A = this chain, B = another copy of it.
């Protein structure tokens, strides 16, 4: 089940109970938990795990490129284990639900040279906003 855990193990990561739990909590599709949500779920499996460890572990997974940081709102960062398929995000403006999406165009090509102001542009991040089916029904 845990592809993420497998990949991390294969990189000589020192495996600890805490790291295992964090990786397991984070695994899955369309998963975008905040650090404190990860911590809350981790605590239910390993009650003595500390907040700092969760933050550290998430940070390491990001550095290793196994997890992406997502900032769809300006509250907490969210962590996306689906790091190996490039994608953007669709966010419900009301309830905050997030889906991974794969738009067809390439926005990098849409930025002309004179709109780059001499920057070396390397990355683009696209966030779609709207209302999810649940919220528009209510």
Contacts and interface: CB of A to CB of B under 8 A. Distances in A.
B121 A124 contact: no
Interface string A99-122: 101111101111110011111111
Contacts of A101: 111, 115-117
In the complex, the count of this chain's copies comes to 2
B71 A92 contact: no
Given A130-B123, A131-B119, A103 B111 contact: yes
A128 B111 CA distance: 9
Nearest to A131: B120
A132 B105 contact: no
Contact of A74 (B71, B93, B121, B128): B71
A90 interface: yes
Contacts of A131: 119-120, 122
B102 A115 contact: yes
Interface of A: 69, 71, 73-74, 77, 90, 92-93, 99, 101-105, 107-112, 115-133, 136
